[in-house]
Amino acid sequence: MGRYAAVVFDLDGTLLDTLEDLAGSVNFALERHAGMTRSIGQIRSFIGNGVRMLMTRSLPGGQENPAFERAFADFREHYREHCRDKTRPYPQIPELVQALAAQGCKLAIVSNKADPEVKKLSREFFGGLICSSVGEREGVARKPAPDTLFQTLREMGVPREQAVYVGDSEVDVQTARNAGVDFIGVTWGFRSAEQLHQAGAATLASRPLELLTLV
C-alpha cells in the first residue's frame, strides 16, 4: 500500500465524463421552459455545486425565474432516465481503480450529484471496487461542507490523516481543506490546471495512472 489507506474521489469530471448527459438534460429543461439552450462550454463552467445550482446557473433568472422549480423537476426526471447515455469513465480510470484496489487501498466516491445517481453509476462502472458512494441528499450539507466526506471516512473506518481526496474543481479543493484531508487535483475534468492552482491545489495529476505515484 502507498501513502494513504483510502482514496476518495469526486465523480463528475474526475472518474466519469458526465458532461454530455448533464448538458442534454439541462437543455431539455431549458428548451421546454425558456425556449433556449446552453453550450457545452457554458454548462461545463456551471458544474460543481450540485444539480440544483447547475440549473440555477443555466436558467435565466435562476431560482427567481417563475419556471425554475418545474424546469428543475424536468431536468431531474430526464437525467434519471439518461444519466448513462453517453457517460463513460475517462481513459485509464478503470485501470487506476483496479490497481488501487489490488494494492489494498480503500476507495470511495463523494459527489454533489444526487445520491441515487451516484450509487447507480458507481455500481455500474466500478462494481464492488468502491467501498462507499455518497451523493447529495436532503438533510446533509453538500460540498464544500465536509459532512459527506466525513461520513464516507467513518463508513470505511479510516482517519482523515490517512485519506486523500481527488477532484477536479474549486469545490473539491475547498471540501478537502474544510475536512482537513490532503487533496490532489486532476486536470482532465471540468477545470484547468490554472484554475485549480488558483483555488489552492498544490498537487495536480494530468493523467489518471499518474495518481499511482502520488497516493
How do the domains of the chain map onto residue ranges?
6-17+88-213, 19-82
Tens-digit pLDDT profile for residues 3-32: 999 999 999 999 999 999 999 999 999 999
CB atoms within 10 A of CB 215: 20
Mean pLDDT, the chain, rounded, equals: 95
Tens-digit pLDDT profile for residues 54-98: 999 999 999 999 999 999 999 999 999 998 999 999 999 999 999
Catalytic pick among 10, 12, 168, 182: 10
Q: One fold for both 6-17+88-213 and 19-82?
A: no
Residues 143, 51 contacting (CB under 8 angstroms): no
6-17+88-213, what's its fold?
Answer: Rossmann fold (3.40.50)
User: In 3D, which of 142, 127, 141, 173 has the Cα closest to residue 14?
Assistant: 173
Residues 179, 199 contacting (CB under 8 angstroms): no
10 noted as active-site residue: yes
Write the class of the CATH domain 19-82: mainly alpha
